[in-house]
């Protein structure tokens, strides 16, 4: 059991049956006698990804959510579903693309990820820092297009994503893209 005194950034708690991540907390001590101390927390619902503020009475107790982190490997894309394989049990798990949001665009055959499970359902995926993609189309860049020494041109990748790449990148090159911001990291 967790108490509001245990609340700090990164702690996960179970509120009304849903897992939440504590993002920030503050304590409000009243000036009136007999009034209860309040703990205000900025929380993110791990199921819906919604962020909002909640207020609790000091000393309230909460259960810890039964979260499980497992190594998974992306197998293939099946319409609006992505199929992953548990690396320990070899069990296949299907996840809807819309539940993953932008992370679905980074899936490539054999990509190894960490999946966060709650009650048998995938809540979130932890992607590697970079993912490799082949450049399928590059718009021509012009020498002299340099602004402050960083000349780039738009490129389309094998997953359909468009990124800005340096002028030396050409069609057929394999590049690494940062999963944090979707920007070019390096040529492979």
* CATH at residue 157: 2.40.50.140
pLDDT at 147: 57
Q: Which residues of the chain have pLDDT under 70?
A: 34, 142-150
Gap between the Cα atoms of 157 and 40, Å rounded: 44
Please return the burial class of 44, using the count of CB atoms within 10 Å of its CB with bins 0-12, 13-18 and 19+.
middle
Given 13, 36, 62, which residue is the final one in a domain?
62
121 and 143 assigned to the same domain: no
pLDDT at 133: 94
7 and 55 assigned to the same domain: yes
In the chain, the number of structural domains is 3
8 and 58 assigned to the same domain: yes
Gap between the Cα atoms of 88 and 28, Å rounded: 46
6 and 47 assigned to the same domain: yes
Residue 68, both tokens: 């499980």
pLDDT at 86: 93
Gap between the Cα atoms of 161 and 155, Å rounded: 8
Q: How far is CA 45 from CA 14, 27, 54, 59, 81, in A?
A: 10, 21, 11, 21, 22
87 and 75 assigned to the same domain: yes
Please name the residues in contact with 100: beta carbons below 8 A apart, sequence gap of 6 or more.
82, 125
22 and 9 assigned to the same domain: yes
pLDDT at 145: 54
- Owning domain of residue 25: 2-62
Give just the sign of the alpha carbon dihedral 140, 144, 145, 149. positive
pLDDT at 164: 92
Given 62, 92, 107, which residue is the final one in a domain?
62
- Residue in the structure block whose two tokens are 């893209």: 177
pLDDT at 99: 85
89 and 43 assigned to the same domain: no
Gap between the Cα atoms of 175 and 2, Å rounded: 45
104 and 52 assigned to the same domain: no
pLDDT at 98: 87
């Amino acid at each position: 059991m967790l108490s509001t005194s245990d609340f700090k950034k990164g702690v996960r708690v179970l509120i009304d049956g849903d897992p939440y991540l504590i993002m920030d907390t503050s304590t409000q001590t009243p000036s009136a006698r007999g009034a209860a101390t309040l703990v205000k927390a900025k929380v993110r619902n791990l199921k819906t990804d919604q962020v909002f503020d909640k207020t609790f009475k000091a000393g309230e107790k909460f259960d810890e959510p039964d979260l499980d982190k497992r190594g998974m490997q992306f197998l293939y894309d099946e319409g609006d579903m992505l199929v992953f394989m548990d690396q320990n049990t070899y069990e296949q798990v299907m996840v809807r693309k819309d539940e993953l949001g932008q992370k679905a665009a980074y899936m490539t055959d054999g990509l190894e990820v960490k999946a966060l499970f709650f009650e048998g359902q995938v809540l979130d995926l932890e992607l590697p820092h970079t993912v490799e993609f082949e450049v399928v189309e590059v718009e021509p860049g012009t020498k002299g297009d340099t602004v402050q020494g960083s000349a780039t041109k738009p490129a389309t990748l094998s997953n359909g994503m468009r990124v800005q790449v340096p002028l030396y990148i050409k069609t057929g090159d394999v590049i690494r893209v940062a999963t944090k911001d979707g920007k070019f990291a390096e040529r492979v």
